[in-house]
Structure 1
Amino acid sequence: MPAREQVSYFGAGPARLPTSVLANASAALLNYNNTGLGIAEHSHRSALSSNILTQAAQYFKTLLNIPNDDSYTVIFMQGGGTTQFSSVVYNLVGYWVERRLRKHGGDLEKVRADLKDMKCEYLLTGGWSLKASQEAARLLGDEHVSIVIDARKANGGKWGIIPEEKDWSLVEKKDSALAYFCDNETVDGVEFPSFPNALESAEGEEDERLVIGDMSSNILSRPVDAKKYAVIFAGAQKNIGTTGITIVLIRKSILDCQPSPVTLRALNLPIPPIMMHYPTLASSSSLYNTLPIFDVYIAGEVMSQLLTSGGVAAIAAAAERKSSSVYEVIDKNPTVFTPVITDTRVRSRMNVCFRLVKGKDGRDLEKQFFEEAEKKGLLGIKGHRSVGGGRISCYNAVGEEEVAKLVAFMKEFATKQGHTYLTLN
């Protein structure tokens, strides 16, 4: 059985965690803060748990450079990023409805007339954004979902690009309840290089386009201008912590402007389940029900370590170095490796997707590559079951020395296949 330090793990999630965090957590599970009880045994409503929640939320805001002016609220939820596909629809449509109800002086019939043109906008760049749009259609009906882009239509039926913004089909801002995009598509290896200019709104604009950022696989890996988003959400299990919690950053004005169930029922709109209702969770400090405090503790420990190691700027620089070194060895060995994403502008820094060509004698190099990698302690590099191939995830806790070890193996493997390492301009 190998020791922890003998393996390097590049799985797409749940992902590697810092060893020091796990060491502290193992002690905390037995006896937290000399209380005689493990952290998982303490009441989620205790002062101890409240402090863990408050500290983790503050770490998150600090890392994202969010001012302490109460303009944004951090909520810890369960159900992963997939639950947020539903939650954002319930709460953002609710916000859209309540704003119009107030604008029309409570006249429900005027809101009903406006509702005919209301749309939830989706940018489809991979499997996760597709699932998000499908959930919106399931809850509201196809007539209330607008597909801004479908990358497959511009790429021969396959994911792998982000169409140019001039080709996007955005609705009028007054009709848009939300505009969702997945910042990094984990399965398909596509990442937005920056916030899309087309989704920008002027400060103080009455009919602002409310942007939802799904950052489940690249949160805290680069600086983010949170003011441009109405909601940012991320499952913790890739860059922040363990499976079990999802962090939601939401603009407070959305929490303060939500319709009653009576209003939603009158308009034949779905009423959010209580555990997906952001105002309820925010008003109870994420403790409407029993929250897994141990998972929040892990997230706080990871974020504390990120802060002490240089913050998001340092993380972003390391992420660029790690992914660039992997892409380089793929690009310089074209007779062995083939990148899934050929447009270098939208290649993911978090999930490097690739395939292996057939050997000269017809051998399956992919199978051989994975087997040899595992023997060397390089684990978790198989692609998602839906697409196959290889996928190397370079999340925050994956060290640069681990990536260097993997790159050395890839070069060695290519050399054994008779390939000469190329020099690229």
Structure 2
Amino acid sequence: MSSEHARVANFGAGPSALPVSVLEEASKGLLNFQGTGIGIAELSHRSKEFQAFVNNMESLIRTQLDVPPTHRILFTQGGGSMQFSAVVLNMLARHRLLHPERAAEDTVLDYVVTGSWSKKAVEEAQRMGGARVNVVVDSRTFSESGKAFDIIPPHDACKFSEDPALIYYCENETVDGVEFSHEDASPASFPFHLLGKNGGLVPLVADYSSSFMCRPIPHLADHAIIYAGAQKNIGPAGLTILIVREDCIVDVDAAAKLGASPVPLTMSYKTLADSGSLYNTPSVLPMYISGLVLERMQRHGGLKHYEETNKRKAEKVYAVLREGQEKGVFKRKVKEGSGSWMNVVFEVVGPDAEKAFLEGAERAGMMGLKGHRSVGGIRVSLYNAVTEPEVDQFVEYAKQFIAERSA
């Protein structure tokens, strides 16, 4: 391979690494999609070939995640950030249809805040109005500084409202490296057992952007909405995947007549559902690449394979991080038990040590390790396409760095 086409180990947080075999297959589709003689980026989204491809994408997600028939799978644009607004509008419309007599000040939106992305989501809900916003818990209050997102809060700290229009959480905080455990018995799991005590369908909304398709989703059927930007484990930026329970696909215009905020047409889940996610031109190329990734995942054994591999990858990185911390070279930024499988964050101790660590990693062919600009430090993202040999390469480099710095 010539140097101009040489690839490095990409530990970036997103847009993130994609499997080389998928990129090679996609390059063929850019010229000729499925023998049509037309490249995928030039193909009509109304063509039978593309519609069949979209149907297959949905089937691959439904099969691998075991999505029940009570939920629809929808594809849209705007990333996770657009869903900050869309979930509020659609769930307030649903709530208005259920409670036409209820005033805005008596309508509540519940938010569990555990990191930068759930913080942005709650700020958007507050900005939009139309309901009171209740912060169920803010995990910063459990940090030593009172300012850091470094732990999943205890279950008994969560104060859910009696009948909220939505209950929101972010499963994996990409910036802060904090993640809910997928083991119910863990104190760092999401407190599903505290929900739905009054009966009825729980309006539970989850941002799964940076952990979607890395392992099974706990209690998937109990969620009203799960959404994910594709640019972590699935494909390029530009595609957002939604899993929406049927009762949350409502007539937003009927709700508006009863006093709910009007919902832009392309943000209405009903518009997406009624059109098969093809109301307007979708992100055709990102959808194509994502579909190829999903096909490859199924060939490789589905989520069971990826869950096992991702667990090993994370354990290897956390092990070397503990070693570095014991030697005074690294410092964990997340408390034990609350760490993410997908985004491992830490600091390199000492003046100019972080700079030296990043420069050495780059010389060794490893990129994308600098932490988010808002928090600094190091962030090792371990998405599906990051291979175990690449993780081993990082671990070996980190061990060498520890040895040099602690000598």
User: Residue by residue, what CA displacement relative to the aligned partner does 1:69-118 show, whole Å, maximum 9, x if unpaired?
Assistant: 3x1111100000000011111111111111224xxxxxxxxx135x4321
Shift of 1:226: 1.6
Matched, 1:272 2:273: no
What is residue 223 of structure 1 aligned with on the other side? 216
Q: Please point out which of 350, 367, 371 is paired with 2:342.
A: 350
Shift of 1:41: 0.8
Q: How does 1:19-98 map to 2 (within 5 A)?
A: 19-67=20-68, 69=69, 71-98=70-97
Q: Distance in 2 between matches of 1:163 and 1:226?
A: 21
Q: Distance in 2 between matches of 1:170 and 1:34?
A: 54
Structure 2, unaligned runs of 5 or more: 183-188
Q: Distance in 2 between matches of 1:23 and 1:259?
A: 42
Q: How does 1:153-172 map to 2 (within 5 A)?
A: 153-155=141-143, 156-172=146-162
The range that moved more, 21-30 or 194-203, is 194-203
- Does the residue aligned with 1:17 lie in a helix, a strand or coil? coil
User: Residue by residue, what CA displacement relative to the aligned partner does 1:254-278 show, whole Å, maximum 9, x if unpaired?
Assistant: 21x43435x42552x3211111000
- Does the residue aligned with 1:112 lie in a helix, a strand or coil? coil
Q: Distance in 1 between matches of 2:266 and 2:221?
A: 26
Q: How does 1:358-377 map to 2 (within 5 A)?
A: 358=350, 363-377=351-365
Q: Please point out which of 125, 128, 150 is paired with 2:114.
A: 125
User: Residue by residue, what CA displacement relative to the aligned partner does 1:215-260 show, whole Å, maximum 9, x if unpaired?
Assistant: 00001111113201111000000001111110000011221x4343
Letter in 1 for 2:136: V
Assess, with a 3 A threshold, how the Cα gap between structure 1 residues 198 and 74 changes in structure 2: closer, same or farther: closer
Q: Is the 8 A contact 1:199 1:211 kept in 2?
A: no
Q: Distance in 2 between matches of 1:158 and 1:290?
A: 41
What is residue 104 of structure 1 aligned with on the other side? none
What is residue 185 of structure 2 aligned with on the other side? none
Assess, with a 3 A threshold, how the Cα gap between structure 1 residues 64 and 10 changes in structure 2: closer, same or farther: same
- Superposition misfits of 4+ residues, deviation over 4 angstroms: 3-6, 198-203
Q: Is the 8 A contact 2:109 2:132 kept in 1?
A: yes
Q: Is the 8 A contact 1:200 1:209 kept in 2?
A: no
What is residue 290 of structure 2 aligned with on the other side? 299
Letter in 2 for 1:28: G
Shift of 1:213: 1.1
The range that moved more, 194-203 or 319-328, is 194-203
The range that moved more, 153-162 or 75-84, is 153-162
What is residue 260 of structure 1 aligned with on the other side? 253
Q: Please point out which of 130, 138, 153 is paired with 2:127.
A: 138
What is residue 203 of structure 2 aligned with on the other side? 210
- Does the residue aligned with 2:123 lie in a helix, a strand or coil? helix
Q: Is the 8 A contact 1:181 1:213 kept in 2?
A: yes
Letter in 2 for 1:89: V
- Does the residue aligned with 1:238 lie in a helix, a strand or coil? coil
Shift of 1:198: 4.2
Q: Please point out which of 188, 193, 198 is paired with 2:176.
A: 188
Shift of 1:4: 5.7
The range that moved more, 182-191 or 246-255, is 246-255
Q: Please point out which of 281, 305, 311 is paired with 2:302.
A: 311
Shift of 1:18: 0.4
TM-score, with normalisation over the residues of structure 2?
0.93
Letter in 2 for 1:157: K
Q: Distance in 2 between matches of 1:220 and 1:3?
A: 32
Q: Distance in 1 between matches of 2:38 and 2:157?
A: 58
Q: Is the 8 A contact 1:91 1:258 kept in 2?
A: no
Q: Is the 8 A contact 2:112 2:137 kept in 1?
A: yes
Shift of 1:154: 2.0
User: Residue by residue, what CA displacement relative to the aligned partner does 1:394-424 show, whole Å, maximum 9, x if unpaired?
Assistant: 00110000000010000011111134xxxxx
Shift of 1:206: 4.1
Q: Is the 8 A contact 1:381 1:392 kept in 2?
A: yes
Letter in 2 for 1:230: A
User: Residue by residue, what CA displacement relative to the aligned partner does 1:119-171 show, whole Å, maximum 9, x if unpaired?
Assistant: 11100001100110111111125x51110011112212211112111111111
Q: Is the 8 A contact 1:74 1:250 kept in 2?
A: yes
Q: Is the 8 A contact 2:354 2:377 kept in 1?
A: yes
Q: Is the 8 A contact 1:322 1:403 kept in 2?
A: yes
The Cα RMSD (Å) is: 1.7
Letter in 1 for 2:256: L
Shift of 1:354: 0.6
Q: Is the 8 A contact 2:172 2:178 kept in 1?
A: yes
Letter in 1 for 2:402: A
Letter in 2 for 1:128: W
Assess, with a 3 A threshold, how the Cα gap between structure 1 residues 247 and 304 changes in structure 2: closer, same or farther: same
- Does the residue aligned with 1:176 lie in a helix, a strand or coil? coil
Q: Distance in 1 between matches of 2:102 and 2:224?
A: 24
Letter in 2 for 1:159: F
TM-score, with normalisation over the residues of structure 1?
0.89
Letter in 2 for 1:286: S
Assess, with a 3 A threshold, how the Cα gap between structure 1 residues 309 and 229 changes in structure 2: closer, same or farther: same
Assess, with a 3 A threshold, how the Cα gap between structure 1 residues 304 and 278 changes in structure 2: closer, same or farther: same
Structure 1, unaligned runs of 5 or more: 102-110, 420-425
| Matched residue count | 395
What is residue 186 of structure 2 aligned with on the other side? none
Q: Is the 8 A contact 1:129 1:182 kept in 2?
A: yes
Q: Distance in 2 between matches of 1:416 and 1:157?
A: 33
Q: Distance in 2 between matches of 1:236 and 1:145?
A: 28
What is residue 403 of structure 1 aligned with on the other side? 391
- Does the residue aligned with 1:116 lie in a helix, a strand or coil? helix
What is residue 380 of structure 1 aligned with on the other side? 368
Q: Distance in 2 between matches of 1:356 and 1:28?
A: 43
Shift of 1:202: 5.7
> Identity of counterpart residues, as a percentage?
39
Q: Distance in 2 between matches of 1:344 and 1:153?
A: 17
Q: How does 1:311-350 map to 2 (within 5 A)?
A: 311-334=302-325, 335-341=328-334, 343-350=335-342
